[in-house]
Chain A
Amino acid sequence: DGGITQSPKYLFRKEGQNVTLSCEQNLNHDAMYWYRQDPGQGLRLIYYSQIVNDFQKGDIAEGYSVSREKKESFPLTVTSAQKNPTAFYLCASRVTSGGYNEQFFGPGTRLTVL
């Protein structure tokens, strides 16, 4: 069964700690994305990667880091430099040659920083 998995679904961390959110896809998609959703706001792009070992900053990359060592994996680290990390984080992927109507989202991780 192909799809995108994100783990864990809920994550709690103390302020000042780094935390890494997992995103795995078995769709053989080239491009992967991380978005953040806050109440009353749309999804905002944090980072994206179109090929392995390459990634670009999105609109709100400050305080986040990513890696793309494997095609199927695109973990996101929320660092202590992120001033307001509590949010719902969504990972997505698509075939680069395809349209955004073929972009699939994972189920999301809700991060709460205490």
Chain B
Amino acid sequence: DQQVKQNSPSLSVQEGRISILNCDYTNSMFDYFLWYKKYPAEGPTFLISISSIKDKNEDGRFTVFLNKSAKHLSLHIVPSQPGDSAVYFCAATTDKLIFGTGTRLQVFP
């Protein structure tokens, strides 16, 4: 039972354009949502998070939006850069951290 889902396994975006990564969840008890970035053969690194009481959080080029009624989360990267190419995981917490399946983002010149 996948409580956190990322339905797009991959995304390809041109440099300078916007990247939008999506995430859906099923458990209404999740109180905190996070995005992690992962390069091959490395551990994930924390990128940005949002509390369930907010609907938007921004940090530089990265913005996370939360739509609680739709149980939907999205990460916007503007402008996209080649160094953003990685796998992005969304995750949600109650007492444990539950990860989505990941979306591989490729930013091409």
Chain A positions near chain B (C-beta within 8 angstroms): 4, 9, 33, 35, 40-45, 48, 58, 88, 90, 92, 99-108, 110
- Which 4 pairs, one residue from A and one from B, show the smallest C-beta to C-beta distance? A105-B43, A42-B99, A43-B99, A42-B101
Which chain A positions have C-beta within 8 A of B46? 101-104
Assess the B99–A44 pair: CB atoms within 8 A. yes
Q: Given the interface contacts A43-B44, A110-B41, does A103 sit within 8 Å of B97 by beta carbon?
A: yes
Q: Contacts A40-B9, A42-B102 hold; do A108 and B97 have CB atoms under 8 A apart? A: no
Count: A-B pairs, CB below 8 Å: 56
Q: Which chain A residues border B9 with CB–CB below 8 Å?
A: 40
* Complex CA–CA separation, A107 to B98 (angstroms): 19
Which one of A9, A40, A100, A106 lies within 8 Å of B97 (CB-CB)? A100
CA distance A4 to B49 in the complex (A): 22
- Contact check, B101 vs A92: say whether CB atoms are below 8 A apart: no
Q: Is the CB of A100 within 8 A of B41?
A: no
A58 contacts across to B, CB distance below 8 A: 96
Q: Which of B41, B91, B98 contacts A108 (CB 8 A)?
A: B41
Extra contacts besides A40-B101, A42-B101, A101-B49 (17): CB < 8 Å? A4-B43, A33-B97, A42-B100, A43-B44, A43-B89, A43-B99, A45-B96, A45-B97, A58-B96, A90-B44, A99-B32, A99-B49, A100-B32, A100-B97, A101-B34, A108-B42, A110-B41
